[in-house]
Chain A
Amino acid sequence: MADAVIVVALVLVAGCATVAVAVRDPARQALVLAVLGVVLAVLFTAVQAPDVALSQLAVGGALTPLLLLLSVRKVKRRKGRER
């Protein structure tokens, strides 16, 4: 019964990771990745690894979406100029 938190967190991570692979559009993928970061942090906290949870939040919270969306914007701008 005490492992219920871990089970819930594991199911959420598995579901979110599957969705992250299944989604094709990069912007939507970045959204799913942001949620995946939060869910992973919950899993790490549930298995008593708050240091790793903090690393995951720091990187997944704002940094990864920012890098991804900036890359998407650059590619789109180039496409817009070629048209």
Chain B
Amino acid sequence: MNSWLLAGTVVLGGGVGATLWGVATGPLRRRVVAQNLSTALACPGLLLLAQGYERPSYVDVALVLALLGPVGTLVFARLLTDELAADPPRAWGLTWAAAGLVAAVVLALCVAVGPSRELVKILLTGAILIGGNVVASHALSGGFAEVRGG
């Protein structure tokens, strides 16, 4: 077991485990934030696993998660607007902490991989993921102000 796999296991076990607890308990506003964070934490975990198994093609899984995870959160933000409007979730601290973790993992992987096609893919994954999670967080805290019937 190399250190990449160990780091991936820690991120997945600690990070995704915590978001699982968050999504299982508490009010709705906490659960949507936990769902958003689950993609933000699982994606660096998957990137670390790809590096740990030395399989560059596994990065595709992380790329698809980075694209579709925030889209899933947007679905909740859009269709649960009424439920979230009274008490909008604000979790900027957690969101930026997760974004920082993603950036750190992507940076470490970039140093390890060196200039190649995989590097471009990892950078793209990181950028899409951070942007997507910040925007999804924004959408949850009142990004859909007036959605009636639409």
What residues make up the interface of A, taking CB atoms closer than 8 Å to B?
A: 1-2, 4-5, 8-9, 12, 15-16, 19, 23, 27-28, 30-32, 34-35, 38-39, 41-42, 45-46, 48, 50, 53-54, 57-58, 61-62, 65-66, 69-70, 72-73
Contacts and interface: CB of A to CB of B under 8 A. Distances in A.
A1 B1 contact: yes
Contact of B12 (A5, A31, A70): A5
B97 interface: no
Contact of A38 (B8, B16, B17, B28): B16
22 contacts: A4-B6, A8-B9, A8-B13, A8-B17, A12-B16, A16-B20, A19-B20, A27-B83, A35-B23, A38-B38, A41-B42, A42-B45, A45-B50, A50-B58, A50-B61, A53-B61, A54-B61, A54-B64, A57-B64, A61-B64, A65-B76, A66-B79
A23 to B, nearest CB: 7
A43 B69 CA distance: 17
Given A42-B46, A65-B76, A35 B68 contact: no
Interface stretch (B29-37, B87-95, B99-107, B115-123): B29-37
B39 interface: yes
Contacts, number: 120
Contacts of B65: 38, 41, 57, 61
Interface residues of B, number: 42
A9 B12 CA distance: 8
A68 B8 CA distance: 31
Contacts of B39: 38, 61
A61 B68 CA distance: 6
B35 A31 contact: yes
Interface string B118-136: 0000000000000000000
Contacts of B53: 48
